[in-house]
Chain A
């Protein structure tokens, strides 16, 4: 080695010395609890300062999650200008993104299934952003390959080895394999199932599903019950179904209704001209880029920081008392869209006026932990037969695996650093309290459980930074009975000065559903 080169190296090493960590020092940790302080302040009814200023606007959208932004996007796209979006305590809500060490990564939602024909609103959105190409209502549109998940897509660690795909196969007994095959065929058939009203039984958005009582009755029992009744008893199959429900609904087969469980498998029949069935769309920071693009169409001038404290009907309009930091202001609007979770909406407005009974109608919510680990290099794989995939899961436990934020990068070599994002849905009954009280060590233990089990020390020593996002009230659980809540039906139907838009109106939380209620609100405003 040349001396000059060596000196340069030495200089570089000493320069970066401040970032070096001794083995016993824990990596820098950030714990985020988006919306918690604001939500609890609202619940406790803290007094607000007098408003210092006032702003008049035709439509005020309160909340900048997927539902609020979609409503705003649709208005702007239709040339409607006189509106604003109040961001709320967490801009982008559950679809927010982050970046660690300059690497974008998700803090919540991370993928979108290929939209089915009925998800026309999502297809239109994707077409507007150039992600879906050609005719948005064709059965097999083309998608931007940059965001179609790259191969290898998923792998499962089961019976001591990795296998391709998440559906358990490796090392299973014939009976379990047969049941899994039967289950897959059954769900495939249920995609085409129709009710007496001619509609498909399980549709995304769920509001377009058949209303026939025969199908809706499935919403009254648990998915676990239904599986047993149908003879789906194999442990591997039940674990898989449970995993899918936990991954999307934040609760397992014992807690979610059979209707919701089946909906997961039977509602997403989208195809791509240039991707395999069952492919998903994903960005390095999850779905955050979609919220950013919607915000861009809405325009920065219409996005206001701050949260709503109180919504009061006043004459032919609505007054909204808002708080931004320490400063209060008032919005006067002809119409408002409450694009916030219902448990928050219940504190800014008396929902009883709409026939909404909190005790009866408010869904139980699931709690989530999203853990981003910035890693120096990629931990060593025990075998290269099934290399690191976008989504990596371990069979058997109640964890949800991890996704790789740099997976979609177009690179010949792996980047020097990456982010692994691990997901955990906590047990519905105890999860929220646990999140609130757990010590940092306990949070970290859960956050890294799968990764330590897979990579051991090699994972540990590569960690440069950790960001934990704790979501106590992350999403509504589609428990038995969730389709029969009169209060929810009332909020969906509201069409006067106050409209509602949030995934809570579906009772299950996915991008398409949230966007659907944004679409409905925009539609009411535009017609």
Chain B
């Protein structure tokens, strides 16, 4: 009986070992991207650590074999069980040491798992089983365990339980092996009761973890985003997070809210239609930024538009909004529409070399929170944009909040003035953002806000439009400098304005 029990434990131990490795690699590729790199480096680290573990196993004295085996099982169960949740919490709350913790965990697990099989073999050997038989049996079950998990993990466990609970489940299995072994071999163990007590505590803790894992991950997600994360990705340019709570989808870039599906229609209707509905003969439109495809969705309402070119820096962003089912439902597959061409490039670079002129140019870039982004709100940049705008064309720039960041907003207006445009600033109320600002600009100062809209809209109408172009008395225009590359005034204004607002 004890023989069989040990062989069975090999099966479980082997499955657990592989499971932790897969959980760590899957979590790393999910959070950090580049799955080939993550899988291969984690598997490599893990196998190497197992080698270290096998080597270390020789330092365990023969008389301690069983007790140490049980300890190791408990430790593996504990570390492996909490691994996914721990990593996730670290990633959510403190970004920097994530990789260090990840590889440290993988290494520690590898070392411990690497000690298991040699120990079991020595236990069996000490019981005078025949050596050839031991090797054959142990390794058979070892590999069998690996096979079972490698199939179960992607098909059942990861999708059904999620990574955090999968890890806890295997932790429970490890601790279970420890408890059963402590029970079965109690006669041979010196401190059997203490071991059993330890095993029970770990087992209970892991079960509690299994039950609570969901809550912990949600809590850590909520710690940053308030809602559950349905997509998280770190690209070379930014960190993309999509959250969902009931029917509210939200996109965060580097932790800043980009839209909420509850009210994004207000933002995008305000961004697109005051310009487009004033341009009867528009055929070609350029969108800079706006990789979520929502502005393009609005543009596609105009049957007269022949070509829409969208230039967004990050291929991961446009890829995500071209393929994810929930997100393409939101942008109505705008990015894969045949009238739309998606280009992944830096808008500055692209404008320097691209030919062509457009009837409308819509600039939907992230707020000017860095010197790099600040350059794309500068006078030389607007002059560059101007070279691509047809003589009667219209330019629209999302320009942060005139209410919360008045200096930044009016700095954009002043910069466009300086670059030779006539400007028509306006503001709209978007509940999840507050009052938001846009600047419309043309060459000759002839722009008139539309008196009626011929495309289907959810919110915008002629009255709204008229009031958008009026700035109430509590939003006066402050005296500001234009945004020059030499001083990057806008980045400064933006920082100072928002610092005053955010406590």
Residues in A lying within 8 Å of B, measured CB to CB: 1, 6, 9, 144-146, 148-153, 272, 274-276, 279, 387, 409-415
* Cβ contact within 8 Å between A412 and B484: no
A410 to B348, CA, bound (A): 5
- B contacts with A, residue count (CB < 8 A): 25
In the complex, B379 has a CB within 8 A of chain A:
yes
* Cβ contact within 8 Å between B486 and A145: yes
A1-B36, A275-B486, A412-B348 are contacts. A151–B371 as well, Cβ < 8 Å?
yes
* Cβ contact within 8 Å between A411 and B346: yes
A145 to B489, CA, bound (A): 14
A153 to B371, CA, bound (A): 12
Partner of B487, one of A151, A409, A412, A415: A151
CB neighbours of B384 from chain A (8 A)? 410
In the complex, B439 has a CB within 8 A of chain A:
no
Partner of A412, one of B35, B352, B372, B379: B372
* Cβ contact within 8 Å between B484 and A148: yes
* Cβ contact within 8 Å between B484 and A275: yes
* Cβ contact within 8 Å between B376 and A412: yes
* Cβ contact within 8 Å between A9 and B381: no
What are 30 sample pairs from A and B whose C-beta atoms fall under 8 A apart? A1-B35, A9-B36, A145-B484, A145-B486, A146-B380, A146-B485, A149-B486, A150-B375, A150-B488, A151-B486, A151-B488, A153-B486, A275-B487, A276-B486, A276-B487, A409-B348, A409-B349, A410-B352, A410-B378, A411-B346, A411-B348, A411-B372, A412-B313, A412-B347, A412-B348, A412-B375, A412-B376, A413-B237, A413-B372, A414-B372
The total number of A-B Cβ pairs within 8 Å is: 73
- CB of A336 to closest CB in B, whole Å: 41
The B362-384 residues at the A interface (CB cut-off 8 A) are: 365, 371-373, 375-376, 378-381, 384
A272 to B484, CA, bound (A): 12
CB neighbours of B488 from chain A (8 A)? 150-152
B375 nearest CB neighbor, chain A only: A410
- CB of A187 to closest CB in B, whole Å: 22
A223 to B492, CA, bound (A): 39
Among A1, A150, A279: residue with most chain B CB under 10 A? A150
CB neighbours of A152 from chain B (8 A)? 371, 488
* Cβ contact within 8 Å between B376 and A410: yes
A1 nearest CB neighbor, chain B only: B35
* Cβ contact within 8 Å between B487 and A413: no
State the main secondary structure of chain A at its contact with B. loop
CB neighbours of A9 from chain B (8 A)? 36
- CB of B268 to closest CB in A, whole Å: 21
A412 to B289, CA, bound (A): 10
CB neighbours of B237 from chain A (8 A)? 413
A216 to B486, CA, bound (A): 36
- CB of A481 to closest CB in B, whole Å: 39
Among B313, B346, B488: residue with most chain A CB under 10 A? B346
Among B35, B352, B372, B384: residue with most chain A CB under 10 A? B372
A415 to B346, CA, bound (A): 9
A415 to B378, CA, bound (A): 18
* Cβ contact within 8 Å between B313 and A145: no
A6-B36, A275-B486, A413-B237 are contacts. A387–B371 as well, Cβ < 8 Å?
yes
* Cβ contact within 8 Å between B380 and A410: yes
- CB of A13 to closest CB in B, whole Å: 9
CB neighbours of A414 from chain B (8 A)? 372
* Cβ contact within 8 Å between A150 and B485: yes
- CB of A279 to closest CB in B, whole Å: 5
* Cβ contact within 8 Å between A145 and B487: no
* Cβ contact within 8 Å between B486 and A279: yes
- CB of A386 to closest CB in B, whole Å: 11
15 other A-B residue contacts (CB within 8 Å) besides A145-B378, A145-B485, A274-B379:
A1-B36, A6-B36, A145-B484, A150-B486, A152-B488, A274-B486, A275-B484, A279-B486, A409-B348, A410-B348, A411-B348, A411-B375, A412-B365, A412-B373, A415-B346
A10 nearest CB neighbor, chain B only: B36
CB neighbours of B487 from chain A (8 A)? 151, 275-276
B346 nearest CB neighbor, chain A only: A411
Closest 10 CB pairs of A and B: A410-B348, A151-B488, A150-B485, A275-B486, A148-B486, A411-B348, A145-B380, A411-B346, A410-B375, A412-B376
A5 to B294, CA, bound (A): 26
CB neighbours of B375 from chain A (8 A)? 150, 410-412
* Cβ contact within 8 Å between B36 and A410: no
CB neighbours of B381 from chain A (8 A)? 410
A411 to B384, CA, bound (A): 12
B373 nearest CB neighbor, chain A only: A412
* Cβ contact within 8 Å between A148 and B485: yes
CB neighbours of B373 from chain A (8 A)? 412
A9 to B40, CA, bound (A): 15
- CB of B449 to closest CB in A, whole Å: 30
A145 to B378, CA, bound (A): 9
CB neighbours of A149 from chain B (8 A)? 486
A388 nearest CB neighbor, chain B only: B371
CB neighbours of B35 from chain A (8 A)? 1
- CB of B422 to closest CB in A, whole Å: 20
CB neighbours of A387 from chain B (8 A)? 371
A148 to B375, CA, bound (A): 13
- CB of A406 to closest CB in B, whole Å: 11
CB neighbours of B376 from chain A (8 A)? 410, 412
The 8 A CB mask of B226-247 against A (1 = contact, 0 = none) is 0000000000010000000000
A148 nearest CB neighbor, chain B only: B486
CB neighbours of A409 from chain B (8 A)? 348-349
The B469-489 residues at the A interface (CB cut-off 8 A) are: 484-488
Among A150, A152, A279, A413: residue with most chain B CB under 10 A? A413
CB neighbours of A410 from chain B (8 A)? 348-349, 352, 375-376, 378, 380-381, 384, 485
- CB of A382 to closest CB in B, whole Å: 13
CB neighbours of A148 from chain B (8 A)? 484-486
* Cβ contact within 8 Å between B485 and A412: no
- CB of A110 to closest CB in B, whole Å: 17
The B112-161 residues at the A interface (CB cut-off 8 A) are: none
B365 nearest CB neighbor, chain A only: A412
* Cβ contact within 8 Å between A412 and B346: yes
Among A146, A411, A415: residue with most chain B CB under 10 A? A411
* Cβ contact within 8 Å between A151 and B36: no
* Cβ contact within 8 Å between A413 and B485: no
A381 to B30, CA, bound (A): 26
A387 to B370, CA, bound (A): 10
CB neighbours of A151 from chain B (8 A)? 371, 485-488
B29 nearest CB neighbor, chain A only: A1
* Cβ contact within 8 Å between A274 and B484: yes
B485 nearest CB neighbor, chain A only: A150
CB neighbours of B486 from chain A (8 A)? 145, 148-151, 153, 272, 274-276, 279
- CB of B150 to closest CB in A, whole Å: 18
B319 nearest CB neighbor, chain A only: A5
A414 to B379, CA, bound (A): 19
- CB of A376 to closest CB in B, whole Å: 12
The B1-57 residues at the A interface (CB cut-off 8 A) are: 35-36
CB neighbours of A146 from chain B (8 A)? 380, 485
* Cβ contact within 8 Å between B313 and A413: yes
A145 to B375, CA, bound (A): 11
CB neighbours of B372 from chain A (8 A)? 411-414
A272 nearest CB neighbor, chain B only: B486
B491 nearest CB neighbor, chain A only: A151
A2 nearest CB neighbor, chain B only: B323
A6 to B379, CA, bound (A): 41
- CB of B171 to closest CB in A, whole Å: 29
CB neighbours of A150 from chain B (8 A)? 371, 375, 485-486, 488
A413 to B379, CA, bound (A): 18
The 8 A CB mask of B198-241 against A (1 = contact, 0 = none) is 00000000000000000000000000000000000000010000
A152 to B348, CA, bound (A): 18
CB neighbours of A275 from chain B (8 A)? 484, 486-487
Partner of B379, one of A1, A145, A153, A415: A145
